Structure 1
Amino acid sequence: MLVVFYVSASAEFRRFEHPPKPDGSLSFLVIGDWGRRGTYNQSEVAVQMGSMGEKLSIDFVVSTGDNFYENGLRGIHDPAFLYSFTDIYTAKSLQKQWYAVLGNHDYRGNTKAQLSTILRRTDRRWLCLRSYIVNTGTAEIFFVDTTPFVDKYFEKTKHHKYDWRGVLPREKYLTKLLKDLESALKLSVASWKIVIGHHTIRSIGHHGETRELVTRILPILEANDVDLYINGHDHCLQHISSNTSSMQFLTSGGGSKAWKGDYHDLNQEGLKFYYDGQGFMSLQLNPTNAKIVFHDIAGKVLHSTNLSKQRYSVVM
């Protein structure tokens, strides 16, 4: 594993270099909403991830957030890190770098624990930051901290408390993040621009569209020709094509507990695929083509999409 780290000029977006394979190709897995100490089929999904990781010779794994349920980590020595991560994803092929973002459940715990370099020493695979960039040459992947955008998390409630250290004052934080995201996207010359966030932009799942992201982030993505927006949050797998750009919206939130039958309009314009069960996603990229595949807990291919820089086609 070769990951070179340096801090970019942007305060919000640190940059990591992760070289592709010698031929310029890249493959990785995407999993979200998973950390339940192996329950709700988390362990079964992990087994299939290991098999697919070996088959594709993956370069790394992406987590779309809600890494530890129900309330994140209590601290840097919380055993949930081992029980839900290290002890679950044990396959040889998964001993690669994991790039993670925070979800809303992670913010209910000690967010600084998940961001700590101490966890990286506990398990060298782990890397979680609020917002950052992974540059592979073939693709630039922009990880965005979406939880602070959502208004309802800042409303007073007796049910949940959130750890906003490092985020407040909120509007200053969000304004800087959006400015840095826009700047980084404009400067990118990668063949593929991929944005990772926890919350949905387009979704027919339980949560549906995240209004704040549609208003504040989506215009920036469309203006800068982002190819893929990948999220978790809704506990399902789905693919929706934009009706205003070539962007594809991909949900991989089936890492453990799924929400059977909890969806909205199956006739929604642009909907290519929806599955209300557990599973994960794989991506294979080269400079001109991309293959995106959704897998269930038995390893079955549920949906496959082939993209090119000129056009895309959907293969069922």
Structure 2
Amino acid sequence: MQLSFLATALAIVLASVEARPAGHRPPHPPHGGRHHQGGKIAIFGDYGWKGWNIPTAAQCVGLPAVGNCDPSAIASYPQGVAAQETTAKFFGQVCQKHTCNEVITTGENYNHFKVGFIEMYTAKSLQIPWSPSIGNHDIVANTSVQMELDAHKYDRRWYMPSRWYAHDVTVNDVKYHFTVLDSSPFISSYRTNPASPYYSQELINTMNATMLQEQIDFLDKSSAESDADWKFVVMHHPILSTSKNYTSSKDMGGLFQIVEKHKLTVINGHDHVLSHQQGNNTDFFTVGAGSLTAASDGNNGVYEPYIKYVAANATYADNGLALLSGTKEELVVEYYEYLKGAKTPSYTAIVKQNRQYNITI
């Protein structure tokens, strides 16, 4: 996913969205969270290509060939949009067949809210609450985060009360607690390397040590106070990645210590792939295949000891999503790959309470 080349172009995205009738407020969870009888929670990520204002060659003169001016990204735009449109339809089919009642996103949400979200995810089965997290492309311009915080004014499915937040969802009397974080501050190169496409004034001003500690403390407190049967941290960047070029547990500061302390399950995107990793008695579910995918993000389909599933091979990674359900004793995460259809999952992970894995990361 890429963002508009000019911050001014980004600033008009919401202004271009058709206004919704008065009284359309975000679907804030009631006290104690949302409750559902039946259905599953969908996980979806890295899906927002359509609506990028591609820069001209003249605008890229003198700028590094990365980010918005990356020739490969510019060349990939048609493919990215096509993949997003195809996967949006597939997402609707999966949720129609299996009854989704919530959507948790792993970031990279949209370039243009009207064409990239409202007019993209139109299936009746997707007219349910969406609880997004912020990805690195979502923070690349000074105005983009505020757009996402305000997006509920234009589509009441959207629930993002702040940059990081927590909420509960109960399905069939099983309670799930999600702490949603903004993981970009933990990537030091974003705020220290001027050549990085994510180096911006917003990062410089706000993504400091204090902000990191606030999120670590928030995750600790939120998890400690929850009485949920299953507790999660949701964020864009992975703690344990299938890609050797991206983040690892060492990049995440003190977050992983909190994950281990409270026996959390990790949900992330950023790697443009579907995968499941295990380590340190923790499960890591990567769901970043909502638009353009990358085989290299899935280690080109090569299984390492910590990789339990990856929807990739030497040259291709499939699009798709995951569905979450379970009982108080077992968590069930099902992956649906586009090429394998919406009827049955291509991979199912069963997570037990007090799990123990002989893998150290």
TM-score range, shorter chain: 0.7 to 0.9
Q: Deviations over 1:197-233 (max 9, x none)?
A: 000111122644335544421111101111x201000
Contact 1:3 1:17 in 2 (8 A): no
Contact 1:2 1:19 in 2 (8 A): no
Residue 28 of structure 1: how far off its partner (Å): 1.3
Who wins on radius of gyration, i.e. which is larger? 2
Contact 1:20 1:59 in 2 (8 A): no
Q: Which runs of 4+ in 1 moved over 6 A?
A: none
Contact 1:278 1:297 in 2 (8 A): yes
2:138 aligns with one of 106, 111, 126? 106
Q: Are residue 55 (structure 1) and residue 55 (structure 2) matched? A: no
SS in 2 for 1:28: strand
Counterpart residue number, 2:48: 35
Using the alignment, how far apart are the partners of 1:303 and 1:151 within structure 2? 34
Counterpart residue number, 2:259: 221
* Greater fraction of residues in strand: 1
Q: Deviations over 1:21-54 (max 9, x none)?
A: 24xx561111111111271411111112111212
Residue 166 of structure 1: how far off its partner (Å): 10
Q: Deviations over 1:142-173 (max 9, x none)?
A: 10110011100012424524352796261111
Using the alignment, how far apart are the partners of 1:2 and 1:85 within structure 2? 15
Residue 307 of structure 1: how far off its partner (Å): 2.7
Change (3 A) 1:224 1:258: same
Q: Which runs of 5+ in 1 are unaligned?
A: 7-15, 74-79
Question: Which moves more between the two structures, 131-140 or 85-94?
Answer: 131-140
Using the alignment, how far apart are the partners of 2:135 and 2:353 within structure 1? 31
Change (3 A) 1:171 1:195: same
SS in 2 for 1:204: coil
Using the alignment, how far apart are the partners of 1:93 and 1:263 within structure 2? 29
SS in 2 for 1:189: coil
The within-5 A match list for 1:151-166 is: 151-158=188-195, 160=197, 161-164=199-202
Q: Which runs of 5+ in 2 are unaligned?
A: 1-24, 51-79, 312-316
Counterpart residue number, 1:66: 108
SS in 1 for 2:202: coil
Counterpart residue number, 1:255: 290
Kindly report the root-mean-square deviation, in angstroms, between the aligned alpha carbons of the 2 structures.
Answer: 2.7
Q: Are residue 84 (structure 1) and residue 84 (structure 2) matched? A: no
Residue 106 of structure 1: how far off its partner (Å): 0.7
Q: How many residues align?
A: 288
Change (3 A) 1:82 1:151: same
Q: Are residue 173 (structure 1) and residue 217 (structure 2) matched? A: no
Identity within the alignment, %: 24
Using the alignment, how far apart are the partners of 2:228 and 2:329 within structure 1? 11
Equivalent AA in structure 2 for residue 289 of structure 1: E
Question: Which moves more between the two structures, 209-218 or 88-97?
Answer: 209-218
Residue 111 of structure 1: how far off its partner (Å): 3.0
Could you tell me the TM-score, scaled by structure 2's length?
A: 0.72
Equivalent AA in structure 1 for residue 216 of structure 2: L
Contact 1:29 1:49 in 2 (8 A): no
1:142 aligns with one of 156, 172, 179? 179
Using the alignment, how far apart are the partners of 1:169 and 1:253 within structure 2? 24
